[in-house]
Amino acid sequence: MLAYKAESTIFMPTSSLMAWNKPKLSLGGTKKNVYIVGNDPKCTKSVTNVKNGILTNWKPRQPDMIHDILFGRLVQDELVFQQELVVRSFDIGSDSKMSIVALENYLQETLLNHCRSIGLLADGFSTLEMSKRDLVWVFSKMNITVDRYPSWNDVFQVNTWIYESGKNGLGADWIFSDLKTGNTLILASSLCMMMNKKTRKLSKFIKEARQELKPYVMPNGYPVIESERKFQVVDIDTADSTRLGLSPGWNDLDVNQHVNNVKFIEWILEGAPSSIMESHQLSSINLEFRKECHLDATLKSLSRYDSNSSDHSTDNYEGLIELEHSLRLESGPEVARGRTIWKLKHPNQLSQSKLFPRKLLI
């Protein structure tokens, strides 16, 4: 369960997006309860004159906040990392809203900033103890649900935290909210696993890293969103849309020396029917990363209309389309699979209010 707690406590299902109406929140946790922290930042400077590109009348009001605004801060007993960001021109698509690729980049960036802020970011995507043993973090699963994409120049706040997930996994959650209104924009959850960068095989969660992370792990953490539905098998014979000949470039590799997960999302969306891309926008995506991809790979992106899509013909789901996806090497092995849900770009107000309620009525 996801809970907003200010002067009173409101509970809502994890499958719904919540809206924050108060700037101050609190954090706690049981296995199925997560309370999020947030504080609206104060104005940090007053600028009245610029001469030759130099601020001549710059007065910091809260010097300790300047670093926080630029690099984020730890809040609520250092369990949650919080950062304010602005949507830049190179983050947006043709509709002047943040693209899914930019969103995924912000998820990765704030997670790494979190690790850096607690002093545990070592060589590449790893902690100090992991680095000693040639271990790195890799994404295994990713779930994202979008209520509204922020627009160009919008300022949004990200709250993210980590928690143990199963015997060998580390979960990470994010909440993106509009800094001005407090409304929740995006929820995301991921599962990270350890991989040995020499053998390229997954590793157990070593006890040294577990102990290293213990002070910063959310007790009894639980994903803000998750999907228990199994992915359907999509192959070249059953696909409704296919994109062949996809290949990575040097800029698609990350410090783990394989194709970054953000590129996987790009490729999966490349396989979606163009008619959907024109009339709909991505509302949610569930991904499972199954195999590494390297520079010499050639891939195909396969998409198929979900067999249960007909269930969404009611008024409550008017305009929703579900797709199943498979990203495969041309030689056959599957590197990722996923499911996406798309909603009309310009739905009527009735459908919009039924799909994604922003306010909770008590």
Q: What pLDDT does residue 315 have?
A: 39
- Furthest CA-CA distance within the chain: 67
45 Cβ contact partners less than 8 Å away, ≥ 6 residues apart: 58, 59, 60, 61, 66
Active site residue 293: yes
Q: What is the pLDDT of residues 290-319, one digit of tens each?
A: 999 999 999 999 999 987 654 444 334 558
Q: Which of 21, 39, 168, 256 is catalytic?
A: 256
Question: Do residues 37 and 76 touch, judged by C-beta distance below 8 A?
Answer: yes
Q: What is the pLDDT of residues 217-235, one digit of tens each?
A: 999 888 998 888 899 899 9
**How much of the chain exceeds pLDDT 90, in percent?**
62
The rounded mean pLDDT for the chain is 79
Q: What is the pLDDT of residues 239-274, one digit of tens each?
A: 999 999 999 999 999 988 999 999 999 999 999 998
Across the range 206-216, mean pLDDT stands at: 94
| Higher local confidence (pLDDT), 63 or 141 | 141
- The torsion angles phi and psi of 180, rounded to 5 degrees, stand at -75, -45
Active site residue 192: no
Integer Cα distance of 74 and 82 in angstroms:
6
| Higher local confidence (pLDDT), 193 or 54 | 193
Q: What is the pLDDT of residues 151-180, one digit of tens each?
A: 999 999 999 999 999 999 999 999 999 999
Q: What pLDDT does residue 66 have?
A: 58
Q: What is the pLDDT of residues 56-71, one digit of tens each?
A: 443 433 445 556 666 8
Q: Which of 114, 258, 280, 325 is catalytic?
A: 258
Active site residue 308: no
